[in-house]
Amino acid sequence: SKLTDIPVSTLTEAENNRLSIIREDLHNRFIDQDAAIDTVVETILRNRAEFPVKNRPLASFLFCGK
């Protein structure tokens, strides 16, 4: 926010909108995987709220299907 002169509320609102779009897009692409999609999005949200550890992934996901 300080570097870009964009208010923090705008940044968080934009990120919330982007995550909402990601959730909708995943629900459209993966049928009957609501619990898995919600878990992925919630993990992303939780990691955005915390301070990530450098040089480590936010999470690892394994998707299996027919």
Confidence of residue 58 (pLDDT cuts 50, 70, 90): confident
Provide the residue ranges of all domains of the chain, joining segments of one domain with +.
Answer: 8-48
Tens-place pLDDT, residues 12-50: 677 777 877 888 888 898 888 899 889 988 888 787 777
pLDDT at site 52: 66
Q: From 39, 43, 41, select the one nearest 20 (Cα to Cα).
A: 41
Confidence of residue 57 (pLDDT cuts 50, 70, 90): confident
Q: Is the entire prediction scored with pTM above 0.85?
A: no
pLDDT for 60 beyond 50: yes
Q: How far is Cα 48 from Cα 15, in angstroms, rounded to an integer?
A: 10
